[in-house]
C-alpha cells in the first residue's frame, strides 16, 4: 500500500511517499480502508524529533493520527465492528500511521463515524475532540455556570472546545485575531479578545478553568486569571510528573519531567491554582460520546482546507504556519 513515511527525523525533512507492506491485523484489531486523515501539529512535532523522549518512534515509520474510513477486515476477537462499517479514530500511540491507504487499529480505540458527516469532516474530529473531552470533561469537570478561558478559539482544538464548553453550560472567553472574531462568535464564544490588540490578563478575572495551548508566557498569565481552587490545563506543556506516571516513564524521564514543570507548578501552588498537563490518549468510548453530540447537532466540524493525498507534505506545511481556521484534512480515497 501507499504511505507517507518519516525516513529521517528533522524539521526540514519531507515525508516520503512509499510502497510499504499492508498492516498486520491482530485478534482485537480492525483493518480500515482510509478515506480521510487529518493533520495535527503533533505530526510535525514528531517528524521534527521533538517527541523522541516520550514517543521514540524508530524511522522509517508512517505518520498520521486521525482517520475516517471503512472496515475491510476484522480480527477474530473483534466484537463491536463488522466489515463495511464507517468508522473514525485516533489510533493509539505506537500504532499511528493514517497518512496511508490502510491502517489496523485496536477496536477499543475506534467509534462509529457520525452519520451526518462526510469522511473528510469525520477525520477532522478524533484527536482534537478527544483532547477537549479529556481536558474539559475528564480533568476539569466543567459545570454549568462556570467560566472557562479557551485560548486560540479559531484553531483545531479551540473550535471544538468552544462548542463543547457551551454545551456544558459554561461562559466561554477566547482569544483570536481580528479576522476570526466572527468565526469564534458563531461557535458560541461569549467574550472574544483580539490577542494582537488586547491583553487577556487585563480583561479576564476569577475564571474556573483555562485550556492552555500557547507558550509559557501565556501559561503564566493564565494562572493569574484563575480563581483560587481553579484549574489550568495545559496541552502545550510543560509535561508534569503525573504524566510521567501515566506513560510509565523510566526514572530518568521522570526526573526530566519533574524538572521541566517545577517552575510553573511552584507558581500555581503559590496562587492556589491547580496546574496539570494533558497529553490526549486514544479512547473509543469517549469518541462514541462525541459521535452522539455531532449527530444531535451540538458540535459541528470546522474545516479550513482539504488537500489531496499526494499533497500531504503541503498540508503539513500549511498547518505549521499556525494560521489554520479549524482543521486541515487529507483526502486519501
Ligand atoms: N497535549 C495534547 O494532547 C494536544 C492535543 C492537541 C493539540 N495540542 C497542541 O495544542 C496546540 C494547538 O493545537 P491546534 O491543533 O488547535 O492548533 P492550530 O489549529 O494549528 O491553531 C491555529 C490557530 O491558532 C491561532 N493562534 C495562533 N497564535 C495565537 C495566539 N497567540 N493567541 C491566540 N490564538 C492564536 C490562530 O489564529 P490566528 O490566525 O487568528 O492567529 C489559528 O486559528 C498545539 O501546540 C498542539 O500541538 C496538544
Q: What is the pLDDT of residue 240?
A: 95
What is the rounded CA–CA span in Å between residue 199 and residue 218?
A: 10
- CA 164/CA 35 separation, integer angstroms: 26
> How far does residue 156's CA lie from ligand 1's centre (Å)?
7
Q: How far, in Å, CA of 190 to CA of 207, rounded?
A: 14
The closest alpha carbon to 328, from 316, 274, 69, belongs to 316
Q: 286 falls in which pLDDT band (50, 70, 90)?
A: very high
Q: What is the pLDDT of residue 242?
A: 95
pLDDT confidence of residue 191: 98
Considering the chain, what is the average pLDDT of its residues?
98
What integer pLDDT is reported at residue 280 of this predicted model?
A: 98
What is the tens place of the pLDDT at every residue in 194-222? 999 999 999 999 999 999 999 999 999 99
pLDDT of residue 234: 98
Query: Is the full-model pTM beyond 0.85?
Result: yes
pLDDT for res 141: 98
Per-residue model confidence (pLDDT) at position 140:
98
Over residues 87-115, mean pLDDT:
98
What is the per-residue pLDDT for 143? 98
Partner residues linked to 212 by β-bridges: 234
Sort strands 147-150 and 171-176 into parallel, antiparallel or unpaired.
parallel
Give the distance (Å) from ligand 1 centre to CA of residue 79. 37
- Ligand 1 pocket test: which of 152, 191, 214 has the largest number of ligand atoms within 8 Å of its C-beta? 152
Q: What is the pLDDT of residue 244?
A: 94
CB within 8 A of 13, min separation 6: which ones?
Answer: 6, 7, 47
Any residues with Cβ below 6 Å from ligand 1, and which?
40-42, 128, 131, 151-152, 154-158, 175-177, 180, 195, 213-214, 235-236, 278-280, 319, 322-325
Question: CA-CA distance, 117 to 235, in Å (whole number)?
Answer: 27
- What's the gap in Å between 155 CA and the centre of ligand 1? 5
Residues with Cβ within 8 Å of residue 139, at least 6 apart in sequence = 231, 233, 276, 278
Percentage of residues in the chain with pLDDT exceeding 90? 100
**At 286, is the secondary structure helix, strand, or coil?**
helix
* Closest C-alpha to ligand 1, atom 32: 152
Q: Can you give the pLDDT at residue 221? A: 98
Q: What percent of the chain has pLDDT over 70?
A: 100
Strand partners, 104: 31
Confidence of residue 20 (pLDDT cuts 50, 70, 90): very high
Cα(284) to ligand 1 centroid in Å equals 24
pLDDT of 10 reads: 98
Atom of ligand 1 nearest to the CA of 215: 31
Instruction: Take residue 197 and report the three cell numbers written for it.
Output: 490588540
pLDDT band (50, 70, 90) for residue 282: very high
The whole-angstrom separation of Cα 183 and Cα 1 is 39
Dist. CA 261 → ligand 1 center (Å): 21
Is the separation of the CB atoms in 71 and 79 below 8 Å? Answer: no
Amino acid at each position: 500500500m501507499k504511505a507517507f513515511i518519516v525516513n529521517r527525523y528533522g524539521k526540514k525533512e519531507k515525508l516520503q511517499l512509499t510502497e510499504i507492506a499492508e498492516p498486520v491485523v491482530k485478534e482485537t484489531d480492525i483493518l480500515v480502508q482510509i478515506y480521510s486523515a487529518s493533520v495535527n501539529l503533533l505530526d510535525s512535532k514528531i517528524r521534527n524529533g521533538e517527541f523522541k523522549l516520550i514517543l521514540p518512534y524508530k524511522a522509517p515509520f508512517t505518520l498520521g493520527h486521525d482517520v475516517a474510513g471503512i472496515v475491510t477486515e476484522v480480527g477474530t476477537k473483534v466484537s463491536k465492528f463488522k466489515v463495511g462499517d464507517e468508522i473514525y479514530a485516533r489510533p493509539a500511540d505506537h500504532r499511528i500511521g493514517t497518512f496511508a491507504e490502510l491502517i489496523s487499529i485496536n477496536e477499543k480505540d475506534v467509534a462509529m463515524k457520525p452519520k451526518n458527516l462526510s469522511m473528510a469532516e469525520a477525520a477532522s474530529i478524533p484527536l482534537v475532540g478527544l483532547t477537549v473531552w479529556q481536558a474539559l470533561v475528564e480533568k476539569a469537570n466543567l459545570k454549568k455556570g462556570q467560566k472557562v478561558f479557551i485560548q486560540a478559539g479559531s484553531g483545531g482544538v479551540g473550535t471544538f472546545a468552544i462548542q463543547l464548553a457551551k454545551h456544558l453550560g459554561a461562559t466561554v472567553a477566547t482569544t483570536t485575531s481580528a479576522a476570526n472574531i466572527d468565526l469564534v462568535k458563531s461557535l458560541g464564544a461569549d467574550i472574544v479578545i483580539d490577542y494582537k490588540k488586547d491583553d487577556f490578563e487585563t480583561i479576564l478575572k476569577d475564571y474556573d478553568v483555562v485550556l492552555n495551548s500557547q507558550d509559557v508566557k501565556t501559561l503564566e498569565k493564565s494562572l493569574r486569571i484563575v480563581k483560587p481552587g481553579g484549574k489550568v490545563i495545559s496541552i502545550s506543556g510543560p509535561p508534569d510528573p503525573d504524566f510521567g506516571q501515566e506513560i510509565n516513564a523510566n526514572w530518568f524521564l521522570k526526573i526530566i519531567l519533574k524538572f521541566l514543570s517545577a517552575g510553573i507548578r511552584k507558581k500555581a501552588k503559590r496562587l492556589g491554582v491547580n496546574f496539570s498537563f494533558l497529553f490526549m490518549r486514544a479512547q473509543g468510548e469517549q469518541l462514541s460520546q462525541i459521535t452522539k453530540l455531532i449527530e444531535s447537532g451540538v458540535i459541528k466540524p470546522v474545516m479550513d482546507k482539504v488537500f489531496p493525498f499526494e499533497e500531504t507534505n503541503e498540508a503539513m506545511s500549511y498547518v505549521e504556519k499556525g494560521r489554520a481556521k479549524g482543521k486541515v484534512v487529507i483526502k486519501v480515497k
